[in-house]
Amino acid sequence: MQSISPLEFSLDFPYAYGQPDASASFRVEPEDFQVDETLGFEPLGEGEHVYLHVWKRGENTAWVAEKIAELAQVKVMDVGYCGRKDRHAVTTQWFSVYLPKQELEPDWALLNSETIKILVVSRHQHKLRRGDHETNRFIIRLRDFVIADKSAFEQKITRVLAQGVPNYFGEQRFGRNANNLPEAHAILVEGKRIRDKQKRGLMLSAARSYLFNQVLAARVLANNWQELLNGEPELFPSAPLWGRGRSAATDEALAIEAAAMDAWAEWRDGLEHVGLSQERRALVLKPDATAWRWLDNDLELSFSLGSGEFATTILRELAVLESAIKSDAVSV
C-alpha cells in the first residue's frame, strides 16, 4: 500500500481568537519553560514503591528514569512517572521505583548532579502511571516580543486566560514533524505490527488525539466550542477519544462529530479493533491561577493546567513563536 507523508496531516488548526499578530522567541534558555508537577496526594511513607521528587534541568524524563533504574538495579519498566516533561526546561516531577524490600534501597543522593537533584524520598503503595498527577504549574517566558498594539494585546491576554482556549492536543503529541501520524495510519489501516508496546501506544494515542482535534476544529469554525449543544453527553462541551462503541453524543453534537470524522472511517474502525474504549475529552481548556507581567520586552506567563493539557495550546493563541530548539516534548 502507498505510504502516507506527514505533509498530508495538517496541524494548522483554527484559532479561537483570530490569527495572532504578535511574535516572540520561545525557550531560548531552559529557565524560560518551568514546570512543577503536583501529585494531588501525599505519599503514605510506606509501601512497595519508593517515590522520588526530582528537580531536573535540560534532561528528559526517560533518561532520568533509566538512571534511576540503573542505580536501583531494576528494569526500566519498574520505574513509573505521571508524564514526560520536556528536556529543554527546568522541571520538577515524581518518579516511583518498585522496591518491595526496603533494605535494598540505594543511596538516592548518588543521582545528584548539576542537572538532577533529589528533593524528596518517600514510599507509597502503587506505581505512578500516566496521568496520575493532578496539575502542572507553568512559568513561561516569551522573549523579544514584537507587537503593534500593546494595549489590544494585553486585552487579548486577559480574555484568553479568563475564558480559556480550544483544548487541542499540542503538536508534541504528534511527534516531530507529525511523524507519529503516518505510523498510526500504517498500524490502523495497513496492518503494520510494532512489537514495542510503548511506541505502538504512542502512535495510537496520536491517532485518537488527531481525530479529537478534527472535531474541535469544526466546533471552533462554527464558533460553538464553548457552548453546550443539544445532544452533548456531558455537562460540558466535549468530543470523543475514539474507541469501541458508538459516540455518546446525539442530535446536533453528534451531527458535528460525524461530519468532522467522516473522512476518517478507516482510522475509527482501526481504533475500535485494537481494543481501545471510547472516552470523552473537554473542548475548553481553562487555566487556573493565572498571572502575567512584562519584563522589559519579554512576557512572563504563569498558570496551572490539569493532566493531559498542553501549555503550548494556550501560547499559540497569543503569539507566533520561534522556538530556539526542536521540541521533544509530550503531554505533561
Active site positions, annotated: 86
Q: Is 73 left (phi over 0), alpha (psi -120 to 50) or beta?
A: left
DSSP state of 65: H
Measured CA to CA, the distance from residue 149 to residue 162 in angstroms comes to 20
**Contact, 20 vs 12, CB < 8 A?**
no
Quote helix, strand, coil % in the chain, to nearest 5: 35, 25, 40
Measured CA to CA, the distance from residue 317 to residue 141 in angstroms comes to 15
Q: Which residue has the cell 467522516?
A: 262
Long-range (24+ apart) CB contacts under 8 A made by 70-79 are 71/106, 71/108, 71/110, 71/111, 72/97, 72/99, 72/105, 72/106, 73/106, 74/98, 74/99, 78/127
DSSP string, 254-279: HHHHHHHTGGGHHHHHHHHHTTPBPE
State the amino acid at position 278 in one-letter form: Q
Contacts of 271 (CB under 8 A, 6+ apart): 188, 204, 207, 208, 211, 242, 243
DSSP state of 244: B
Q: Are strands 279-282 and 79-81 parallel, antiparallel or unpaired?
A: unpaired
